[in-house]
Amino acid sequence: MSTFGKLTPGRPSANKSKDQLMESLKDEEGTARVNFEVPRSKHQKLKIHAARRGQSVREFLTAYIDSLPDE
């Protein structure tokens, strides 16, 4: 098996025990993209509402998600 630099083929998780892998996943939450289409009028309404609060659409929606109860 040849290597290029320090990289090797295969899954990185295969080199870790299950406990090490689970622990590493806890350390980094990561991000996810949310992408959906809405009518232009609703998008404009959302942008205006966020701007009146001094927030970007991302900040407004993130704050809204944070306000949802945990299930």
CA distance 12 to 49: 44
Q: Which of 59, 57, 54 is nearest to 38 (CA)?
A: 57
For the stretch 16-52, pLDDT in tens is 677 776 676 665 678 888 999 999 999 999 999 999 9
Q: Where are the domains of the chain?
A: 12-67
In eight-state DSSP terms, residue 4 is B
Query: What's the pTM?
Result: 0.57
Pair of tokens at residue 16: 């870790």
Pair of tokens at residue 28: 């980094």
